[in-house]
Amino acid sequence: MDIDKTRRTVCLGLLGGIAAMATGGAYGSVTVNKGTRVFRLDGGGVTYAFGVNGDGRLQTLYWGSALSMTDELAAPVATPENSSNETSIMLTPFEFAAFGGGTMTEPALKVRFPDGVRDLDLRYAGHEVEAGRIVVRLKDVQRAVHVTLTYAMDQATGILSRSATVENRTSGWVHVDQLAAAGINLPYADDYQLSFLTGRWAGEFALQTRPVTPGSTVIESRKGETAHQANPWFALSRADTEEESGPVWFGALGWSGSWRISVDLDGLGGVRATAGYNPFDFGYRLKPGDSLASPVFYGGFSDAGFGRASRMFHRYQRTRILPGAPAPRPRPVLYNSWEATAFAVDEPGQIALAEQAARIGVERFVVDDGWFGARDSDRAGLGDWVVNPKKFPHGLGPLIRRVNDLGMEFGLWVEPEMVNPDSDLYRAHPDWVIHFKGRPRTEARNQLVLNLARKDVYDYLLKTLDQLVSNNNIAFLKWDHNRTWSEPGWPDIAPDEQQKLYVAYVDNLYKLLAELRRRHPKLEIESCASGGGRVDLGILRYTDQVWVSDNTDPFDRLAIQDGFSRAYAPAIMMAWVTDSPNYVNRRVTSLEYRFLSSMQGALGIGANLKHWTDADFTLAKRLVGEYKAIRATVQQGNLYRLVSPQQGSPRSATLSVSDDRRQAVLFAFLHSSTMRETQPLIRLRGLDPAATYALRAISGMAAKGTPARASGAYWMGHGLQAALNGDFQAAAFVLEAQT
């Protein structure tokens, strides 16, 4: 059973015996020592341990490389008081700190009661172990507020998943002001570095790294969606950690609404991270008997640098998170019409593009915005999911049939959660949007956000999308979300309940996606939010791929893709070849360079094929063919970031190695040559040193004298030099193990 499926209903089983150990299929082993009340999860070369201290509070014991199963961990001891200003409760590394009893660290849970009490003191009340998961029950020292913490560790990768559920068993309401999935405590060290991802529209996934200094670093979204400004992923490393060496603790929150991760360094050097709902403007009132579940937090540990950390996380996403897990289907090569035609879509134009796309080996043809309602620009039509009769007089049928006849699947863009005020839907239901009663409604891109937390909105969207997919042979939806929230009110429910919007909206979004997929098991979905504004492990349970950025400039993309790969798998990373000069920055690049940049992820084409020459088609057809032969390795292999494009590096290189190490794919990029400099040798990684690999250039050339075949040891020890000279140059090679 999956931890996410338990987010709402935590199963409680019973554990007998003094000490017990359990394994549960995909889960690692769980060891509970009933005498010492120490809990331990082991998997993927990682051990995580916590226990109950003498005060009955849950305390972290260890998180790092695997300990021996014979290592006995003693029950935790609360950190001693340093002074009357740094008391024990302020310093002890709790697994799940509630605000109360004198805690001053970032709480995982903060509540208030009808009598004004805002104090919660959680103590251990019992536990169960079930199929590889540990469920620990906590309860306030006086009041019937119960918390269950659920832990599981993935056997292959050591990724730990954690979530919390708070339940009100009192006779009055309990108002939750703050709820996190987990608190994470790191081993004591004084040189931690924090890495995280920030961005903006057309500039997502910028890698930030800085020392952890006293105080808090907060990364968050207050916007109702995951957002571009920061992504819910972080890594904590030591000063000497490098790409392929040293320890890295990392984590990500699976939540597509407002979220917050706070990394704190206390006065005595303790480093903690707390990840959960963003407490900014948050509130969730629990009636007697109600409960609230946190999102799921995923944490991992690598003792071999950032490279291994992301390879483990990529594997976990492919095998445990994505809808196609444990073996997601490789992403088809797609064509998308957005940059070519914008809103000017119609049947003959799209058929002409589809015919050209089929010539180069495209497998999925996607019509983007503009096919519905009165959608001739972004000013009208959003919400009216009926085919525009002027653009498609016979419906979508003729286009879809032609696309299918050409051997391609058909996909369609939708933005279900949004509405233009100039739409039939808004005219009929002006009350369906998120707003405060009687207050102005702020528009962005001329649109408002539908309140998906409402049952009628949910029902309408399910019915509309279900019909759209049922009535047309649609294999794929690009699901967009082009603005963040404003005036987050829900006037139809009681004022004290309205802030439930932050949770109820996202829960209904997940429910809608899940139900649509249940009804249409072959349907695949892409998560898009003005580019990469909704990429997180919550939405990835329901979507097969993501649109990373509206910035399709192939050079800018190298840094965006590198940042993306820190947290997310290349298997979901859509990258299109578009026109040159690029619309974002007017940069001119060759078609070959654009292809190689996009081939680092899941390849798509977004160029206006009407402007292509015969030579362009010939090159594109060849490279699409090459891509199909390497895509399993690129999308589902192990990624080595050999030379990072971060910090203005003029060069970058990645290597993808298949699990069986029979195939490896190298991409190398150069921004510009200066002073006739020589290109450094690129040393490969992850190959079988004893195997012989034949080298073949997919595009570009290796330097003169490079052997056509050599051992893995040679390619890793000696390396190879790509013959790159000029501006925006690229080369790609495939290495195949010889039998």
Torsion of CA 552, 555, 556, 560, to 10 degrees: 90
Q: Which residues are catalytic?
A: 480, 550
The 3-class SS string of 546-579 reads EECCCCCCHHHHHHHHHHHHHHCCHHHEEEEECC
Nearer to ligand GLA, 551 or 635 (CB): 551
**Closest distance of CB 585 from ligand GLA, Å:** 17
Nearer to ligand GLA, 372 or 667 (CB): 372
Nearer to ligand GLA, 413 or 593 (CB): 413
Q: Which residues sit at the interface with ligand GLA, rule CB under 6 A?
A: 338, 368-369, 413, 480, 482, 528, 530-531, 547, 550
**Closest distance of CB 265 from ligand GLA, Å:** 37
The 3-class SS string of 436-463 reads CCCCCCCCECCEEEECCCCHHHHHHHHH
State the residue number with the nearest CB to ligand GLA.
369
Nearer to ligand GLA, 127 or 483 (CB): 483
Crossing angle for the helix pair 554-567 and 305-316, nearest 10 degrees? 80
Tell me the C-alpha distance between 601 and 579, whole Å.
18
Phi-psi region of 199 (alpha: psi -120 to 50; beta: other; left: phi over 0): left
Q: Largest Cα–Cα distance in the chain?
A: 81
Tell me the C-alpha distance between 268 and 503, whole Å.
35
Tell me the C-alpha distance between 30 and 53, whole Å.
19
**Closest distance of CB 403 from ligand GLA, Å:** 18
**Closest distance of CB 369 from ligand GLA, Å:** 4
**Closest distance of CB 578 from ligand GLA, Å:** 11
Tell me the C-alpha distance between 712 and 690, whole Å.
6
Nearer to ligand GLA, 372 or 640 (CB): 372
Q: How far apart are the first and last CA of the chain?
A: 40
**Closest distance of CB 225 from ligand GLA, Å:** 13
Nearer to ligand GLA, 338 or 460 (CB): 338
Nearer to ligand GLA, 132 or 532 (CB): 532
Q: Nearest 5°: phi and psi at 591?
A: -60, -35
Nearer to ligand GLA, 282 or 413 (CB): 413
Q: Are 669 and 652 within 8 A, CB to CB? A: yes
How far is Cα of residue 197 from the mean position of the Cα atoms in its chain? 11
**Closest distance of CB 346 from ligand GLA, Å:** 16
Which residues is 729 bridged to in the sheet?
670
Nearer to ligand GLA, 138 or 574 (CB): 574
**Closest distance of CB 18 from ligand GLA, Å:** 57
Spatial strand order of the sheet with 692-699 comes to: 638-643, 651-657, 663-672, 727-737, 692-699, 709-711
**For 210, which DSSP code?**
E
How far is Cα of residue 133 from the mean position of the Cα atoms in its chain? 23
Q: Are 519 and 463 within 8 A, CB to CB? A: no
**Closest distance of CB 147 from ligand GLA, Å:** 39
Give residues with Cβ within 8 angstroms of 559, minimum separation 6. Answer: 205, 206, 645, 646
State both tokens at 612: 């292509």
Tell me the C-alpha distance between 454 and 508, whole Å.
9
Crossing angle for the helix pair 591-598 and 554-567, nearest 10 degrees? 10
